Structure 1
Amino acid sequence: MEATGIILAGGKSSRMGTNKALLRIDGKSVIEHVVAELDSIVNNIIIVTNSFEDYAFLNLPMVEDEWKGMGPLAGIHAGLSATKTEQNLLVACDMPFISAQLGSVLLGQLAEYQVAVPKISDKIHPLFAAYRKEVKEEAKAALEQKQLRIRGMFRNIHVKIMDEKELNDYGIKLSESDLFNMNHPEEYEQAKKMSMKNGISKG
């Protein structure tokens, strides 16, 4: 499948107090874990960041937000504008244990939908979701109107929301680690414990 992984690494990490993408788990930075997992299912990887120097060591293409200071929606727009593939898997940089299997299933929905998003325990996860490149136009329209909630944009496009039951039909049994993200120091500590407890090591 011709697809691109888009890693959003443009946040300020203000709640963490340090760049959360560069925090280390099992001897690798979180973003290295994300890259390794994406590499198994996509042909290309792009990093969306406003701090190119932080991620130069990865030797991957980088783009910055066109709409500065406007949150994850601006990152989605930047990534979808830069990608050369119709199918894209968008991932936040603070998710150390992402599932390539889940990503593949989401990408598979793009034949019929513009976006495919997992929903776990009544919460959708638009920052681990599959997006067609054309969604950049809807993102741009929302940014122009300063409507920055991603869920608001979803009202205007063809979105597939996949709950646990439907994912189960694809053979995916999600654990709490698969969509775990870190915003606070306590969550980083929790991630390290989860990694040790579950023997999670992504590459």
Structure 2
Amino acid sequence: MEATGIILAGGKSSRMGTNKALLKINGKTVIENVVEELRSIVNNILIVTNSFEEYEFLRLPMVEDRWKGMGPLAGIHAGLNTSKTERNLLVACDMPFISSQLGGVLLRELSEYQAVVPEINGQLHPLFAAYRKEVSVEIEKSLDQNQLRIRGIFQNIHVKIMDNMEICRKGIFLRESDLFNMNHPEEYEQAKNMSRHTLSINEQVKGRDET
């Protein structure tokens, strides 16, 4: 799909105590897993970070925040403003198990909306959502006024909120891990346990297939 995956990797990871994006699960860093999943649905990937040297190993385009110290909204602006495509899928760097299927659905829905945001069990996920490039103009207005809440921009753009029911109607059955994000060390341990559980199930299925 002609679209850009924008990975937000500019957070301080203060609650984790180390860079969340570079933590490893099954031998790969979280951000490598995100990149791998994105490559199945988009043809461009862009990393938003203020620490270029940490992500040079990925050999991907990078951009830094224009508004420093103004949170994820500034990162979204940097990514959308730099993107060369109208459709963009935003992903936080601390989501190790993102669903490319869900991402593809969100991107396709942009044909009629400026943003498409999943709402799972009553919780919005604006950091795994699809945005048209033009939304950067509205975000810039908010940043100029020091209004930093991501939800604040939804009042001024044509946004679609996709709840569990509609996502299911699209043929997507979400797992607990699909929108899981890590902020604390115990959540990193939880992510590793999720991954081991998934590997165990896959091995069992493979074993049955081979018999």
TM-score normalised according to structure 2 size: 0.94
- What is the distance in 1 between the residues matched to 2:199 and 2:126? 27
Aligned to 2:81: 81
Deviations 1:121-164 (A, max 9, x none): 10010000000000000110000111100001111100000000
- What is the distance in 2 between the residues matched to 1:114 and 1:153? 11
Aligned to 1:110: 110
Once the two structures are TM-superposed, the CA of residue 198 in structure 1 deviates from its matched residue by 1.6
- What is the distance in 2 between the residues matched to 1:195 and 1:18? 20
- What is the distance in 2 between the residues matched to 1:59 and 1:198? 29
Once the two structures are TM-superposed, the CA of residue 188 in structure 1 deviates from its matched residue by 0.2
Aligned to 2:185: 185
**Paired amino acid for 2:153:** M
- What is the distance in 2 between the residues matched to 1:150 and 1:4? 20
Deviations 1:45-67 (A, max 9, x none): 00000000000000000000000
Larger Rg: 2
Deviations 1:25-81 (A, max 9, x none): 000000000000000000000000000000000000000000000000000000001
Aligned length in residues: 201
Aligned to 1:171: 171
- What is the distance in 1 between the residues matched to 2:121 and 2:188? 22
Aligned to 1:144: 144
Once the two structures are TM-superposed, the CA of residue 199 in structure 1 deviates from its matched residue by 2.0
Secondary structure of the structure 1 residue equivalent to 2:97 = coil
- What is the distance in 1 between the residues matched to 2:90 and 2:182? 17
Once the two structures are TM-superposed, the CA of residue 11 in structure 1 deviates from its matched residue by 0.2
Structure 2 gap ranges (5+): 203-211
Aligned to 1:132: 132
TM-score normalised according to structure 1 size: 0.98
- What is the distance in 2 between the residues matched to 1:120 and 1:114? 20
Please list, as runs of the form range in 1=range in 2, the aligned pairs for 1:1-203 lying within 5 A after superposition: 1-199=1-199
**Paired amino acid for 1:43:** N
- What is the distance in 2 between the residues matched to 1:173 and 1:41? 18
**Paired amino acid for 2:147:** Q
- What is the distance in 1 between the residues matched to 2:89 and 2:191? 22
- What is the distance in 1 between the residues matched to 2:163 and 2:121? 8
The structure that is helix-richer by fraction is 2
Deviations 1:80-127 (A, max 9, x none): 010000000000000000000000000011100000011101001000
Alignment root-mean-square deviation, CA: 1.0
Which consecutive segments of 4 or more residues in structure 1 shift more than 6 A?
none
- What is the distance in 2 between the residues matched to 1:198 and 1:32? 18
